[in-house]
Protein backbone atom coordinates (compact mmCIF):
# COMPACT_ATOMS: atom_id res chain seq x y z
CA UNK A 1 0.00 0.00 0.00
CA UNK A 2 1.11 3.55 -0.76
CA UNK A 3 -0.06 6.36 1.54
CA UNK A 4 -2.37 8.60 -0.49
CA UNK A 5 -4.15 11.82 0.43
CA UNK A 6 -7.79 11.83 -0.64
CA UNK A 7 -10.31 14.66 -0.51
CA UNK A 8 -13.67 13.21 0.54
CA UNK A 9 -16.48 15.09 -1.14
CA UNK A 10 -19.36 13.07 0.23
CA UNK A 11 -21.86 15.85 0.84
CA UNK A 12 -22.18 14.97 4.51
CA UNK A 13 -23.25 17.96 6.51
CA UNK A 14 -25.34 19.30 3.63
CA UNK A 15 -29.12 19.15 3.53
CA UNK A 16 -30.39 16.60 1.01
CA UNK A 17 -33.91 15.20 0.82
CA UNK A 18 -35.48 12.24 -0.94
CA UNK A 19 -38.10 14.48 -2.56
CA UNK A 20 -35.65 17.08 -3.87
CA UNK A 21 -32.43 15.10 -4.46
CA UNK A 22 -33.51 11.46 -4.67
CA UNK A 23 -31.35 10.54 -1.65
CA UNK A 24 -30.65 11.61 1.90
CA UNK A 25 -28.06 10.92 4.57
CA UNK A 26 -29.22 9.16 7.70
CA UNK A 27 -27.20 8.57 10.87
CA UNK A 28 -27.66 5.04 12.13
CA UNK A 29 -25.73 2.91 14.65
CA UNK A 30 -25.29 -0.45 12.88
CA UNK A 31 -24.94 -3.72 14.74
CA UNK A 32 -21.80 -5.71 13.95
CA UNK A 33 -22.23 -7.76 10.76
CA UNK A 34 -19.73 -10.04 9.05
CA UNK A 35 -20.25 -8.83 5.47
CA UNK A 36 -18.44 -11.90 4.13
CA UNK A 37 -21.10 -14.17 5.64
CA UNK A 38 -24.35 -14.52 3.72
CA UNK A 39 -26.02 -15.73 6.94
CA UNK A 40 -25.09 -12.49 8.74
CA UNK A 41 -26.01 -10.30 5.79
CA UNK A 42 -29.36 -11.98 5.11
CA UNK A 43 -30.27 -12.63 8.74
CA UNK A 44 -29.21 -9.34 10.35
CA UNK A 45 -28.08 -6.66 7.89
CA UNK A 46 -30.90 -6.96 5.32
CA UNK A 47 -33.71 -6.75 7.91
CA UNK A 48 -32.01 -3.76 9.54
CA UNK A 49 -31.66 -2.01 6.15
CA UNK A 50 -35.28 -2.72 5.30
CA UNK A 51 -36.48 -1.31 8.65
CA UNK A 52 -34.32 1.79 8.21
CA UNK A 53 -35.71 2.44 4.72
CA UNK A 54 -39.30 1.93 5.91
CA UNK A 55 -38.73 4.33 8.79
CA UNK A 56 -37.01 6.99 6.65
CA UNK A 57 -39.55 6.89 3.82
CA UNK A 58 -42.79 5.92 5.51
CA UNK A 59 -42.99 2.89 3.20
CA UNK A 60 -44.94 -0.13 4.40
CA UNK A 61 -42.57 -2.54 2.62
CA UNK A 62 -38.88 -2.51 1.68
CA UNK A 63 -36.80 -5.31 0.18
CA UNK A 64 -32.99 -5.53 0.39
CA UNK A 65 -31.32 -7.70 -2.24
CA UNK A 66 -28.16 -8.27 -4.32
CA UNK A 67 -25.41 -8.24 -1.71
CA UNK A 68 -22.02 -7.66 -3.38
CA UNK A 69 -18.58 -7.43 -1.81
CA UNK A 70 -15.95 -5.54 -3.78
CA UNK A 71 -12.37 -6.10 -2.61
CA UNK A 72 -9.46 -6.23 -5.07
CA UNK A 73 -7.15 -8.55 -3.08
CA UNK A 74 -9.95 -10.96 -2.18
CA UNK A 75 -11.09 -10.99 -5.82
CA UNK A 76 -7.54 -11.78 -6.98
CA UNK A 77 -7.41 -14.59 -4.41
CA UNK A 78 -10.61 -16.06 -5.87
CA UNK A 79 -12.53 -15.73 -2.61
CA UNK A 80 -16.29 -16.10 -2.35
CA UNK A 81 -18.76 -14.97 0.25
CA UNK A 82 -19.43 -17.72 2.77
CA UNK A 83 -22.62 -19.24 1.37
CA UNK A 84 -22.74 -16.92 -1.62
CA UNK A 85 -21.24 -15.53 -4.78
CA UNK A 86 -17.68 -14.52 -5.66
CA UNK A 87 -16.06 -11.36 -4.34
CA UNK A 88 -16.10 -8.72 -7.09
CA UNK A 89 -13.60 -6.15 -8.34
CA UNK A 90 -13.94 -2.63 -6.84
CA UNK A 91 -15.28 0.08 -9.12
CA UNK A 92 -13.05 2.88 -7.84
CA UNK A 93 -11.50 3.46 -11.26
CA UNK A 94 -14.85 4.05 -12.94
CA UNK A 95 -16.22 7.10 -11.14
CA UNK A 96 -19.89 7.25 -10.19
CA UNK A 97 -21.55 3.85 -10.24
CA UNK A 98 -25.19 2.81 -10.47
CA UNK A 99 -26.28 -0.83 -10.55
CA UNK A 100 -29.39 -0.20 -12.63
CA UNK A 101 -30.27 1.73 -15.77
CA UNK A 102 -33.65 2.54 -17.35
CA UNK A 103 -33.21 -0.70 -19.33
CA UNK A 104 -31.73 -3.01 -16.69
CA UNK A 105 -34.01 -2.03 -13.76
CA UNK A 106 -37.23 -3.46 -15.29
CA UNK A 107 -35.30 -6.60 -16.27
CA UNK A 108 -34.06 -7.03 -12.68
CA UNK A 109 -37.57 -6.52 -11.28
CA UNK A 110 -38.86 -9.28 -13.57
CA UNK A 111 -35.99 -11.53 -12.40
CA UNK A 112 -36.84 -10.86 -8.74
CA UNK A 113 -40.44 -11.90 -9.42
CA UNK A 114 -39.25 -15.35 -10.55
CA UNK A 115 -38.70 -18.28 -8.15
CA UNK A 116 -35.26 -18.06 -6.46
CA UNK A 117 -32.33 -19.80 -8.11
CA UNK A 118 -29.37 -21.48 -6.42
CA UNK A 119 -27.22 -18.31 -6.11
CA UNK A 120 -30.04 -15.91 -5.18
CA UNK A 121 -29.94 -14.33 -1.74
CA UNK A 122 -33.74 -14.49 -1.59
CA UNK A 123 -33.81 -18.32 -1.30
Give the model confidence (pLDDT) of 68-122 as tens digits: 676 666 666 666 666 566 666 656 665 556 777 888 888 888 888 888 765 565 5
Mean pLDDT of 5-28: 78
Position 51 confidence tier, pLDDT thresholds 50, 70, 90: very high
Question: What is the reported pLDDT for 90?
Answer: 59
Mean pLDDT of the chain: 77
3-state secondary structure the chain: CCCCCCCCCCCCCCCCCHHHHCCCCCCCCCCCCCCCEHHHHHHHHHHHHHHHHHHHHCCCCCCCCCCCCECHHHHHCCCECECCCECECCCHHHCCCCCCCCCHHHHHHHHHCCCCCCCCCCC
List the single range of 15-19, 58-62, 97-101 with lowest mean pLDDT: 97-101
State whether the Cα torsion 63-66-71-72 is positive or negative.
negative
Amino acid sequence: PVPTEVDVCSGRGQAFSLDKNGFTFITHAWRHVDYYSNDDVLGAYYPECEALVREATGASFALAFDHNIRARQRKLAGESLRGGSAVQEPLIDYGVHNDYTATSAPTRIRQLAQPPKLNDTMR
